[in-house]
Amino acid sequence: MTHFDDNAALQSITFRLADSLPREMLVQLEQELEKAPEGTREIQRRKQIEDWLDTGMGCCALQHPEMAETMQNALLHFHRVKYHILAWCIMPNHVHVLIRQAAPLPKIVNSWKTFTARWALAHNARLGLGIPGKRFWMREYWDRYIRNEEHFCKAVEYIHQNPVKAGLCKQARDWEWSSAHPDNDNRQSVTCCYF
């Protein structure tokens, strides 16, 4: 997977738990995509995977409040140092984040994943997280360079509406593990005039 990396870029990033999608489903998806026009495959792949993630497959360790809080703290730890976090949402088996980079993207994502994986594996039994094996996160992540203000607004809306779309809450502001929640709005401000 190729990633766009620019220290001043606005990036929408999604990463997921290692057990969030069964391998058989991904293999079947790739077989189906071979029949699709080449120019549409990546969009179709991403949409299907995002829809599957929202069904809540896998251990869904991020739904445990202590794990979600640890993930939230990891996201916000280097806010205004290595990146400016603009929107975020912690789902049961994946995470969405919108940032303006101030450091290399692979290092940013790796820091989130390394810290939270160690914490999750150390607390797996105590919290009953159900993490199978010794791998917490899927190795890769998706990143999307934000091209303009309209794209930015759509990315923020998608991130905040993801728990609503997945049926986890009725309104975005009701999801505790999101920048849309009123208790989290003092940590960073999101505006569609960020360009």
Q: What does the pLDDT look like over 159-195, one tens digit per residue?
A: 999 999 999 999 999 999 999 999 986 445 455 545 5
How far apart CA 12 and CA 153 sit, in angstroms, is 11
Does 155 score more than 80 pLDDT? yes
Does 60 score more than 60 pLDDT? yes
| Predicted local distance difference test score (pLDDT) of residue 34 | 84
The pLDDT of 147-162, averaged and rounded, is 95
pLDDT > 90: percent of the chain: 67
Does 119 score more than 70 pLDDT? yes
- Domain presence at residue 91: yes
- Domain presence at residue 154: yes
- Domain presence at residue 161: yes
| Predicted local distance difference test score (pLDDT) of residue 53 | 77
- Domain presence at residue 87: yes
Q: Which amino acid is at 43?
A: I
Residues 6+ apart with CB under 8 A from 163: 89, 91, 169, 172, 174, 175, 178
In tens, the pLDDT along 18-37 reads: 998 767 777 787 878 788 88
Instruction: Residue 96: give its domain's CATH number.
Output: 3.30.70.1290
- Domain presence at residue 168: yes
Torsion angle of C-alpha atoms 195, 14, 180, 194, degrees rounded to 10: 0
Name the token pair of 136.
Answer: 């917490």
Give the domain extent around 100: 10-20+56-184
Q: Which of 53-57, 106-110, 162-166 has the lowest mean pLDDT?
A: 53-57
User: How many structural domains does the chain have?
Assistant: 1
- Domain presence at residue 26: no
pLDDT > 70: percent of the chain: 90
pLDDT level of residue 6 (50, 70, 90 thresholds): low
Does 109 score more than 60 pLDDT? yes
- Domain presence at residue 48: no
Q: Are 160 and 178 in contact (CB under 8 A)?
A: yes
| Predicted local distance difference test score (pLDDT) of residue 5 | 62
The pLDDT of 2-11, averaged and rounded, is 72
